Structures are given as C-alpha cells and as structure tokens.
Amino acid sequence: MTKTEEGNSYVFMGVSSCGKSSIGAAVAKALEAKFIDGDDLHPRANIIKMKSGSALNDTDRAPWLERINDAVYSIEQKAERGVIVCSALRRHYRDLIRQNNSKVVFIHLYGDFELVKERMFARKAHFMPIELLKSQFDTLEMPATDEADVIQVSIDGSFAEVVQRCIQAINGEK
C-alpha cells in the first residue's frame, strides 16, 4: 500500500519520450489511481500543429493547461487519486496547474538528450516528431528548489526500475 491520499494528483512531467505515459500508466495501476493522458486533452489545433512539425507556443498551450488544471481540480474535489501526464516544461505551466489546486505533486522524469532521443526513435504511432525534441529540451525549465511539490526521478534504467523509483518517491522512500 502507498502513502497516497485521497484527492492527490500526480502530474508526470518531462520532455517527449521520457516515459510519462507508459510509466504514469504503470504507476496509476500500482496506486489504483485514475489515469489521464494529457495528450488526450490537447485541443485539435494543437495536435494538428505538432503533427505538422511546428512547436506549440504559450498561446497554444493555454487551453490545454486549463484542461489539465481542471482535471486536477476534479480529482481533488471527488477525493479520488489520479495520475496525469503533462509535459509541464516551464515553471509558469506548473504554476497554472497548481492554481487553486492544493493536492498536486509533479513527478519530473528526466534524462539526458541522447537517452531521450534513443527512446524517441524506438517509439511508434506518436504525433510528436523527433525534430521537436530539441525544442522541448530548450523549453524545459528544470524545477527550482523552491518547488517543494516536485519529485525528481531519473529515467536511466529499465522500465520496471523507473516505475519502482516513482512509487518509492511518492511513498517518501529513498
């Protein structure tokens, strides 16, 4: 059993291909939590733009981040537990998700560019082209030390190892 509380949302964040969706889904299953893939909350225009190879700007992201914020709020209000996948690359984006949500924790899945690029090449059927990976790393603002609600988890290792690290981090274990 985990130390998760009712109403908690765990937002799995990081650049594309760091494992947010697959690791987040596995952690949600282990926690018996609702799983929401943030990619499913993108407006149609964002998906079309990314699929064409164009990076999103803050104006594009605004309605998506509002939908993520609403999902966190809903989970908290219904006293559920949830895992939500959202890149949350900038502090401003994380702050928008935090707004009026007191029970959100970010799990930052991180790895170096070469490791993530290797994993991106191995992916199938995803709308994010490899060309946008560099822009994601350029956009990423590493969580600051004053962001106490962010847990850093390295993706260097096997899938099972990373999932276990996430569960241990959520439980406050080393």
* pLDDT tens figures, 58-77: 999 999 999 999 999 999 99
- pLDDT single digits (tens) 78-112: 999 999 999 999 999 999 999 999 999 999 999 99
Q: Is the pLDDT of residue 153 over 90?
A: yes
Domain that holds residue 144: 9-170
Helices 44-51 and 58-77: crossing angle in degrees, nearest 10, is: 130
- List b or e across 140-167, with b for residues whose CB sees 16 or more CB atoms inside 10 angstroms: beebeeeeeebbebebeeeeeebbbbbb
Q: The CATH number of the domain where 166 resides is what? A: 3.40.50.300
> Rounded to 5 degrees, what are φ and ψ at 152?
-90, 130
Q: What pLDDT, on a 0 to 100 scale, did the predictor assign at position 38?
A: 94
Q: Is the pLDDT of residue 128 over 70?
A: no
| pLDDT band for position 130 (cuts 50, 70, 90) | low
Task: Name the residue among 46, 53, 103, 41 with its Cα closest to residue 78.
Answer: 103
Is 62 domain-assigned?
Answer: yes
